[in-house]
Structure 1
Amino acid sequence: MAKLEITLHEKGGDVTYKQNHISGQKYLDYWNMQEKLEDEKLSAMQIITLRLEYMASLFPDSHLTAEQVLKGLDPWEIEKTFSRLTGIVLGREESTEKKEQ
């Protein structure tokens, strides 16, 4: 099972994107994004855009884009999905792979 998964609502039905390997660079990318969010005065739209871009970057093998993530999630799913994915990257939450072992 993949370490990270995101299911997006697309025209032909729901599509699940999976990523088996998450490099340590994604950990650093998260903290770089957090520094940018704290150091700069960004609008809510800019913050959401940065988070969407980060989520998409977690699935490079699928060539997933921030726009696909935005269009594929319901509004109430965006924050929850971001929290779940970053929780796994930061080691706060276990991926489904670890739970099954």
Structure 2
Amino acid sequence: MAKLEITLHQKDGDVTYKQNHITGQKYLDFWNIQEKIEKESLNNVEIIALRLEYIASLFPDDKLTKEQVLKGLDPWELDATISRLISVVLGNEESGEKKEP
């Protein structure tokens, strides 16, 4: 099972993107985004745009963009999906894979 998965709704049906390896750089990228949010007092739209760009960058498919993520999720799925994926990157939520003892 992939560490990260996101399913986006598209005209031809749902498409699932998977990522098996998340680098330590993605962990640092998240904290750089958080610092930017705090220092620049960004509004909600700017924060969501930054986080969508980050989410898209987690997956190896070059065709996956923040616009695709935004268009592929229902409004009620957006915040929960962003939070779930960030939680996995930060190690706060299990990814579905068992960790080695």
TM-score w.r.t. the length of structure 2 is: 0.93
Mapped pair 1:72 → 2:72: yes
Task: Describe the SS at the equivalent of 1:98.
Answer: coil
Higher helix share: 1
Letter in 2 for 1:48: I
Distance 1:20 1:48 in 2: 24
Mapped pair 1:62 → 2:61: yes
Task: Describe the SS at the equivalent of 2:17.
Answer: strand
Per the TM alignment, residue 16 of structure 1 is displaced from its structure 2 partner at its CA by 0.3
- For structure 1, list consecutive stretches of 5 or more residues without a partner in the other structure: none
- For structure 2, list consecutive stretches of 5 or more residues without a partner in the other structure: none
The answer for the alignment partner of 1:35 in structure 2 is 35
Distance 1:41 1:94 in 2: 31
**Structure 1: which 4+ aligned runs deviate by more than 2 Å?**
none
Per the TM alignment, residue 17 of structure 1 is displaced from its structure 2 partner at its CA by 0.2
TM-score w.r.t. the length of structure 1 is: 0.93
